[in-house]
């Protein structure tokens, strides 16, 4: 197994291996959460690290990197959207950074960084780093227009040969890559996300709940015993948040829905809340730093996504011993054993979401047992130590 994961061999004894991480944007999504979780636990005696991030985002990742004294740089031309002129400039900007930092390994996170960064390495004149690409869910599975999905699928296939190793974080993405011919130079491997439940900063339940109530625009109109159904997600099409808002119509009157996060779908979701007359029961709380600390304030966590890789927010909710309702997408069926440590529903089904959320809210004993089982799943199946060990074996 070790030989399958590590095609490069170990760094020479006594020398630090330089690793350049490139990520498309700095707001805290799945790829950023991966870096924020991994980097503090890499052996600083073995690695010299540098993180380069595109200009989009709110720099929450950089706050985390600063707290661990991990150096980083901003890239002026690496953008999330396809922008041909900026993308060409981004290739040469990353190429120049490669030649200046001279990494032994270039570690690319997210689709745009994966394509632009691997092309930059291919065009590098004096340095030939090994290229590792980690994808947290193929972007061609996002709910884009058909032409955009086709384009991303084409880009992933042609750029795969510019990469030495591609890491996916769920079995579904591994199977799909093998089926459609995404073949790196060396290995295509699966490494699940990992978390240590005892290292997550969680507020006590009463304090978390009180702070959530402070974020709600009408806290004085919310009864004290109201139950809170919550999620943490960027407001992107892949997160399926419109289905959660639609499901809120069939939840008991003593229940509110809180969505922590922000993004370009906010106006559309606000329109949906108004359409269904849910302004007193469904709330978009915006982007909140260290949002996971408020998880104990939820009575139930919901992941309504229509596309996922291996969702960190779900892993954190499980670690916080919350009962969860989640859609059958990406790695979720690998994380949740239906009716044991959570409940699985079909994607884009507001009716199923509403029914299963209501059932959990109505059975406190079942909810508590599911939360305990979810915590045990994280502890024994998706440990942080295992993830770090496997990533280090690639490095």
pLDDT value at residue 9: 46
**C-alpha to C-alpha distances, 225 to 43, 130, 231, 363, nearest whole angstrom:** 47, 56, 19, 16
pLDDT value at residue 184: 98
pLDDT value at residue 182: 97
Phi, psi dihedral angles at 257 (to 5 degrees): -115, 125
Per-residue pLDDT of the chain (395 residues; tens, 9 = 90+): 333 444 444 445 557 999 999 999 999 889 999 999 999 999 989 999 999 999 998 899 999 999 999 999 999 999 988 889 999 999 999 999 999 999 999 999 999 999 999 999 999 988 999 999 999 999 999 998 999 999 999 999 999 999 999 999 999 999 999 999 999 999 999 999 999 999 899 999 999 999 999 999 887 888 888 999 999 999 999 999 999 999 999 999 999 999 999 999 999 999 999 999 999 999 999 999 899 999 999 999 999 999 999 999 999 999 999 999 999 999 999 999 999 999 999 999 999 999 999 999 999 999 999 999 999 999 999 999 999 999 999 99
pLDDT value at residue 1: 34
pLDDT value at residue 14: 57
pLDDT value at residue 13: 53
The 3-class SS string of the chain reads CHHHHCCCCCCCCCCCEEEEEEECCCCCCHHHHHHHHHHHHCCCCCEEEEEEEECCCCCHHHHHHHHCCCCEEEECCCCCCCCHHHHHHHHHHHHHHHHHHCCCEEEEECHHHHHHHHHHHHHCCCCCCEEEEEECCCHHHCCCCHHHHHHHHHHHHHHHHHCCEEEECCHHHHHHHHHHCCCCCCEEEECCCCECHHHCCCCCHHHHHHHHHHHCCCHHHCCCCCEEEEEECCCCHHHCHHHHHHHHHHCCCCEEEEEEECCCCHHHHHHHHHHCCCCCCEEEEECCCCHHHHHHHCCEEEECCCCCCCCHHHHHHHHCCCCEEEECCCCHHHHCCECCCEEEECCCCHHHHHHHHHHHHCCHHHHHHHHHHHHHHHHHHCEHHHHHHHHHHHC
Nearest to 375 by CA among 321, 338, 296: 321
pLDDT value at residue 5: 46
Torsion sign over Cα 81, 86, 92, 93: negative
Question: Do the beta carbons of residue 218 and residue 280 sit within 8 Å?
Answer: yes
Tokens standing for residue 216:
């709600």
Of the chain, the end-to-end C-alpha distance in Å amounts to 15
- Pairing mode, strands 255-260 and 282-286: parallel
* CATH superfamily placement of domain 2-191: Glycogen Phosphorylase B; (3.40.50.2000)
Nearest to 231 by CA among 348, 322, 142, 366: 322
CATH topology for the 197-381 domain: Rossmann fold (3.40.50)
Dump pLDDT digits (tens) for 137-195: 999 999 989 999 999 999 999 999 999 999 999 999 999 999 999 999 999 999 999 99
Exposed/middle/buried for residue 216 (C-beta within 10 Å: 0-12, 13-18, 19+): middle
pLDDT value at residue 194: 96
Question: Do the beta carbons of residue 227 and residue 322 sit within 8 Å?
Answer: no
Tokens standing for residue 22:
């490139």
Spatial distance between the Cα atoms of 365 and 199, rounded to a whole number of angstroms: 26
Each domain of the chain, given as residue ranges in start order, spans: 2-191, 197-381
**Region of residue 10 (phi > 0: left; psi between -120 and 50: alpha; otherwise: beta):** beta
Nearest to 299 by CA among 225, 227, 214, 366: 227
- Pairing mode, strands 300-303 and 255-260: unpaired
**Other CB atoms within 10 A of residue 232 CB:** 26
Q: Fold match between 2-191 and 197-381?
A: yes
């Amino acid at each position: 197994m070790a030989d399958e994961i590590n095609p490069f061999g170990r760094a020479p004894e006594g020398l630090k291996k330089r690793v350049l991480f490139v990520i498309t944007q700095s707001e805290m999504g799945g790829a950023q959460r991966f870096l924020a979780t991994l980097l503090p636990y890499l052996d600083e005696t073995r690695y010299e690290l540098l993180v380069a991030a595109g200009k989009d985002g709110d720099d929450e990742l950089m706050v985390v990197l600063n707290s661990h004294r991990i150096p980083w740089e901003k890239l002026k031309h690496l953008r999330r959207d396809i922008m041909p002129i900026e993308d060409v400039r981004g290739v040469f900007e990353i190429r120049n950074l490669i030649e200046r930092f001279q990494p032994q390994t270039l570690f690319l996170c997210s689709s745009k960084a994966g394509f632009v960064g691997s092309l930059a390495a291919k065009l590098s004149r004096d340095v030939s780093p090994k290229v590792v690409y980690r994808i947290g869910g193929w972007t061609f599975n996002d709910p884009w227009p058909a032409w955009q999905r086709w384009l991303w699928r084409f880009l992933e296939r042609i750029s795969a040969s510019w990469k030495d190793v591609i890491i996916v974080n769920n079995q579904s993405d591994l199977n799909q890559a093998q089926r459609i011919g995404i073949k790196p130079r060396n290995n295509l491997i699966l490494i699940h996300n990992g978390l240590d439940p005892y290292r997550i900063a969680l507020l006590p339940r009463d304090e978390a709940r009180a702070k959530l109530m402070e974020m709600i625009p009408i806290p004085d109109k919310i009864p004290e015993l109201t139950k809170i159904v919550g999620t943490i997600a960027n407001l992107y099409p892949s997160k399926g948040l419109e289905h959660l808002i639609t499901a809120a119509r069939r939840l008991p009157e003593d229940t509110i829905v809180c969505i922590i996060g922000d993004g370009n779908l906010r106006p559309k979701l606000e329109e949906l809340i108004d359409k269904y007359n849910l302004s007193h029961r469904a709330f978009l709380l915006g982007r909140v730093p260290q949002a996971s600390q408020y998880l104990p304030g939820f009575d139930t966590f919901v992941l309504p996504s229509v596309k996922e890789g291996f969702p960190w927010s779900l892993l954190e909710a499980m670690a916080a011993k919350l009962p969860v309702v989640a859609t059958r997408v990406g790695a979720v069926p690998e994380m949740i054993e239906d009716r044991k440590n959570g409940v699985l529903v079909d994607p884009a089904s507001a009716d199923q979401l509403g029914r299963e959320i209501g059932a959990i809210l109505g059975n406190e004993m079942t909810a508590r047992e599911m939360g305990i089982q979810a915590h045990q799943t994280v502890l024994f199946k998706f440990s942080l130590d295992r993830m770090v060990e496997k990533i280090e074996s690639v490095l």
